[in-house]
């Protein structure tokens, strides 16, 4: 026990010395560059240097189980040597190690300084407001007191962190049993060999684990997860594209004001997605027909559809028709596209220090202006210092009706109109 205590004290001293060096460096920089700051501003770090485990508490917590295990072995060996006994670890050693581990976790967690990124995030969630202004009435303000604003990237990150903690034990058990477990946001897919009654018990226990999370579930030989419909066909799954009943056959309309490369890639990407999802060639055939119908409904010309879906077939199989892909080698070609690096072309990286990046708002009449732009550039700057500098012509999209009609941020005039106590209620 004394040996383990001495080793832990040495670890604390080493880590404290590292913190003290960083503290002195910060004080030195502040004293030289900002005389108005006094050293006492950082005294709270000096006071904490001996208590908490720097420089990264998360690393300490990550390594703690291994260190506790090593301590347990050494203490047990000393116990057996002194008592001259041979056998398993005595219960008193187990109790001691558990107590030490709990105390260390408690101290490190309580004394560790907060992540500076966390403070603005907390401020964001505690100050989530929205304004509603009906025609002819003054704007009313509402504060969201639970959760975060829907659609906010910060809210999605918080949800992932929250659910990751909630699912940790269950997902670990799934991996231990070598079962599948996937989650995207709040949608979960997993497999199990447990009987239906036991599955019901496990899910009900999970539902009681956190009052802020309520789960509904469905299971069987066929389930839908995101845009995939999976059916058990021993020894594998049969997967097809899943669409909700309310889903509309909508993609970006062909005559929308977007650069040509976007509309060219829509048939190509749709065929790639279908090939990745559909595990059987007959399902892929039907899905490709649905893609053609959807594109026709959105005013894509038949020749345009055939050309760019054929471009996908050419990239994958070497011919512009679907015969090879839908034939006996369908599984081989599907394995190729399941690799996310398939057909990825290496793009030249933009050097923002030297390259000139120019954005222009796109209009259909400017569809081919990029080539003309570079020709003009060469004519004007040939033989000048700008001759060898790369210039990049890029399009900036015009605002859609959604951006024009829906304002996510209220105007400054509306913000100044603070609600009265009666209106707030």
Residue 192, CA distances (Å) to 121, 168, 178 in order = 37, 17, 9
pLDDT value of residue 240: 93
Tokens of 142: 């509402």
Q: What span, in angstroms and rounded, lies between the C-alpha atoms of 263 and 129?
A: 38
On average, the pLDDT of the chain sits at: 76
Lowest-pLDDT choice from 51-55, 72-76, 411-415: 51-55
Instruction: Name which residue leads in pLDDT, 323 or 414.
Output: 323
Q: What span, in angstroms and rounded, lies between the C-alpha atoms of 292 and 309?
A: 9
* DSSP letter, residue 39: G
Positive/negative CA dihedral, 317, 319, 322, 323? negative
Read off the pLDDT of each residue in 347-362 and give the average, rounded to a whole number. 79
Residue 422's pLDDT band (boundaries 50, 70, 90)? low
Pseudo-torsion of CA 109, 112, 116, 119, nearest 10°?
A: 50
Residue 113's pLDDT band (boundaries 50, 70, 90)? low
Positive/negative CA dihedral, 397, 401, 407, 408? negative
3-state helix, strand, coil split of the chain in percent (to 5) is 55, 10, 35
Residue 183, CA distances (Å) to 191, 198, 315 in order = 12, 21, 32
Read off the pLDDT of each residue in 222-226 and give the average, rounded to a whole number. 89
Read off the pLDDT of each residue in 37-58 and give the average, rounded to a whole number. 41
Most confident of 87-91, 153-157, 197-201, 311-315: 311-315
Instruction: Name which residue leads in pLDDT, 352 or 124.
Output: 352
CB-neighbour burial class of residue 236 (10 A; exposed 0-12, middle 13-18, buried 19+): exposed
Residue 424's pLDDT band (boundaries 50, 70, 90)? very low
Tokens of 360: 């222009």
Q: What span, in angstroms and rounded, lies between the C-alpha atoms of 251 and 264?
A: 12
Q: What is the pLDDT of residues 259-305, one digit of tens each?
A: 888 999 999 999 999 999 999 999 999 999 999 999 999 999 999 99
Q: What angle do CA 304, 362, 348 make, to 5 degrees?
A: 80
Q: What span, in angstroms and rounded, lies between the C-alpha atoms of 152 and 149?
A: 6
pLDDT value of residue 305: 94
Lowest-pLDDT choice from 106-120, 251-265, 310-324, 397-411: 106-120
pLDDT value of residue 311: 93
Can you give the C-alpha Rg of the chain in angstroms? 31
Q: What is the pLDDT of residues 54-88, one digit of tens each?
A: 334 566 677 778 888 877 777 777 777 767 777 77
Residue 50's pLDDT band (boundaries 50, 70, 90)? very low
DSSP string, 321-371: SSTTTTSTTHHHHHHHHHSTTTTPPPPPPP-TTT-EEEEEE--GGGTTHHH
Q: What is the pLDDT of residues 318-333, one digit of tens each?
A: 998 988 899 989 999 9
Lowest-pLDDT choice from 87-101, 167-181, 263-277: 87-101
Q: What span, in angstroms and rounded, lies between the C-alpha atoms of 223 and 218?
A: 7
pLDDT value of residue 239: 92
3-state secondary structure 43-108: HHHHHHCCCCCCCCHHHHHHHHHHHHHHHHHHHHHHHHHHHCCCCCCCHHHHHHHHHHHHHHHHHH
Decide: helix, strand or coil at residue 406. Answer: coil
Q: What angle do CA 282, 283, 289 make, to 5 degrees?
A: 95
pLDDT value of residue 242: 92
Strand partners, 182: 189
């Amino acid at each position: 026990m004394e040996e383990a205590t001495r080793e832990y004290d040495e670890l604390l001293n080493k880590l404290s010395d590292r913190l003290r060096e960083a503290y002195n460096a910060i004080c030195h920089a502040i004293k030289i560059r900002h005389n108005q700051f006094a050293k006492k501003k950082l005294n709270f770090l000096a006071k904490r240097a001996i208590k908490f485990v720097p420089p990264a508490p998360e690393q300490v917590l990550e390594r703690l189980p291994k260190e506790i295990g090593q301590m347990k072995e050494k203490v047990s060996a000393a116990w057996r040597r002194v008592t001259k006994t041979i056998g398993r670890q005595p219960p008193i050693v187990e109790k001691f190690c558990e107590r030490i581990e709990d105390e260390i976790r408690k101290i490190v967690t309580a004394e560790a300084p907060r992540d500076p990124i966390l403070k603005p995030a907390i401020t964001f969630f505690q100050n989530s407001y929205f304004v509603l202004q009906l025609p002819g009435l003054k704007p009313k303000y509402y504060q969201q007191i639970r959760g975060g604003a829907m659609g906010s990237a910060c809210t999605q990150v918080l949800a992932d962190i929250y659910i990751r903690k909630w699912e940790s034990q269950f997902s670990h058990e799934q991996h231990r049993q070598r079962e599948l477990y996937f989650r995207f946001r709040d949608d979960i897919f997993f497999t199990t060999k447990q009987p239906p009654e036991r599955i019901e018990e496990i899910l009900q226990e999970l539902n009681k684990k956190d009052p802020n999370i309520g789960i509904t579930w469905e299971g069987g030989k066929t389930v839908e997860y995101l845009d995939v419909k999976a059916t058990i066909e021993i020894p594998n799954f049969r997967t097809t594209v899943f669409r909700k009943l309310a889903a509309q056959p909508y993609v970006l309309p062909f005559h929308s004001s977007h650069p040509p490369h976007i509309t060219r890639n829509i048939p190509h990407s749709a065929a790639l997605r279908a090939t990745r999802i559909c595990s059987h060639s007959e399902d892929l055939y039907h899905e490709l027909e649905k893609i053609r119908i959807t594109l026709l409904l959105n005013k894509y010309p038949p020749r345009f559809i055939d050309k760019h879906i054929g471009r996908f077939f050419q990239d994958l199989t070497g011919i512009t028709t679907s015969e090879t892909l839908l034939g006996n080698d369908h599984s081989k070609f599907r394995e190729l596209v399941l690799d996310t690096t398939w057909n990825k072309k290496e793009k030249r990286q933009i050097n923002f220090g030297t390259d000139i990046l120019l954005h222009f708002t796109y209009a259909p009449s400017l569809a081919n202006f990029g080539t003309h732009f570079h020709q003009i550039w060469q004519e004007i700057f040939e033989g000048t210092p700008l001759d060898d500098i790369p210039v990049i012509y890029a399009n900036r999209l015009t605002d859609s009706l959604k951006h024009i009609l829906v304002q996510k941020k209220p105007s400054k005039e509306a913000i100044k109109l603070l609600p009265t106590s009666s209106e707030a209620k």
